[in-house]
Amino acid sequence: MIESRRESTVHHRTLGSALEVSAVGLGCMGISHGYGPASDRADGIAVIRAAVEAGVTFFDTAEVYGPFVNEEVVGEALAPFRGQVAIATKFGFAFGSGARQTGLDSRPEHIRQVADASLRRLGVETIDLFYQHRVDPDVPIEDVAGTVKELIEAGKVKHFGLSEAGARTIRRAHAVQPVTALQSEYSLWWREPETEILPVLEELGIGFVPFSPLGRGFLTGKIDQSATFADGDIRGGLPRFSAEALRANRALVDLLATVAAGKGATPAQVALAWLLAQKPWIVPIPGTRNVQRLAENVAAADLELTADDLAEINEAAAKITVEGDRYPENMQRMIDR
């Protein structure tokens, strides 16, 4: 397996016009949210700090992860590294009693409240990248972009981002406040962004941050049709993780494993290297609670796929029909088209 080496060159990429980050970031959600019981706080902090030691300078969190606790863990973990790393967080959800997520809310006054609360939890003076987590159909995107523009002018935010936004929304937002990055799902088993989103981002000079670049763990090869998921693990409710879909989609993992065997790498590293090879302004953010997996993911930036490798992967992948929707219907409705 290609190993992570601290003495090796750290790969960097630029999102938008000015946000320079490591080529592979760390998605921190899973430490506190979405994949069963939260990690012990000390263990979560240890993984985040190990990422810094491995050369990661880009960390992704959100108020809704936990809710709220993930920002606190990320803030505490990165406190010794102020000025050396970039932290992205997000706004856009409403919460009811017991911090229960109740819907979308991107009203300007709410965005300002979230910014102040996130600054406190993260323990920073400025949010490096502030994403709208999901597009709110009840609030014009121009109002959202204008509010973030005011936060940038006030020194509370450095860069504006969108998540799961459609092409028209991206253009409208960018016309008010330049968008530094779009975060959406993208991997070998979810390639929808290639049709319309990637061309728009390239035209406008916007970076792309794929979440779930390893298919929520599926593309690592560690999950098969016999997998069961703990209470609180979102994969248990996703159509793509039904036993039937997992069985049908195994062909994609087999493809990655074949390429990996010839490269002295792992399927996960090939999946990440494939993403990195698509565009120089793509920065995937795989998540993990495991230091060994972290090192494996970061080392994917050292794996070079040739034009022939990429052609082989694309030709084989084109013959594989991926089964199962990525979200149930209630979650699909939150995706901007």
pLDDT at 239: 96
The answer to whether position 333 is within a domain reads no
The encoded tokens of residue 301 equal 């930036």
pLDDT at 241: 96
Give backbone dihedrals phi and psi of 253, rounded to 5 degrees, phi first: -65, -40
Give residues with Cβ within 8 angstroms of 292, minimum separation 6: none
Asked if the model's pLDDT at residue 38 lies above 80, the reply is: yes
Name the pLDDT band for 3 (thresholds 50, 70, 90). low
CA distances from 181 to 20, 32, 72 (A): 12, 24, 23
CB 267 within 8 A of CB 220: yes
Question: Of all helices (H) and strands (E), which one includes residue 332?
Answer: helix 329-332
Round to whole Å and give the CA distance between 273 and 289. Answer: 21
CA distances from 182 to 64, 100, 280 (A): 18, 26, 14
CB 60 within 8 A of CB 25: yes
The answer to whether position 271 is within a domain reads no
Provide the b/e sequence for 292-307 (b: ≥16 CB within 10 Å): ebbbbbbbbbbbebee
Can you tell me whether residue 154 is helix, strand or coil? coil
Provide the b/e sequence for 1-19 (b: ≥16 CB within 10 Å): ebebeeeeeeeebebbeeb
The answer to whether position 36 is within a domain reads yes
pLDDT, tens digit, for every residue of 52-109?
999 999 999 999 999 999 999 999 999 999 999 999 999 999 999 888 899 999 999 9
The answer to whether position 263 is within a domain reads no
**Gyration radius from the chain CA atoms:** 19
Domain tally, the chain: 1
The mean pLDDT value for 33-40 works out to 95
Asked if the model's pLDDT at residue 9 lies above 70, the reply is: no
State the catalytic residue, choosing from 65, 131, 186, 327: 65
The answer to whether position 62 is within a domain reads yes
The answer to whether position 270 is within a domain reads no
The answer to whether position 233 is within a domain reads no
Domain span holding position 295 = 12-215+278-303
pLDDT at 71: 98
Give the pairing type, strands 127-132 and 157-163.
Answer: parallel
pLDDT at 5: 39
CATH of the domain at 72: 3.20.20.100
The answer to whether position 137 is within a domain reads yes
Quick check: pTM over 0.85?
yes
pLDDT, tens digit, for every residue of 196-223?
999 999 999 999 999 999 999 999 999 9
Give residues with Cβ within 8 angstroms of 274, minimum separation 6: 188, 305, 310, 313
Helices (runs of H) and strands (runs of E) counted in the chain: 13, 11
Nearest to 206 by CA among 281, 130, 131: 281
Q: Residue 333, exposed/middle/buried by CB under 10 A (0-12, 13-18, 19+)? A: exposed
65 is catalytic: yes
Mean of pLDDT over the chain: 95
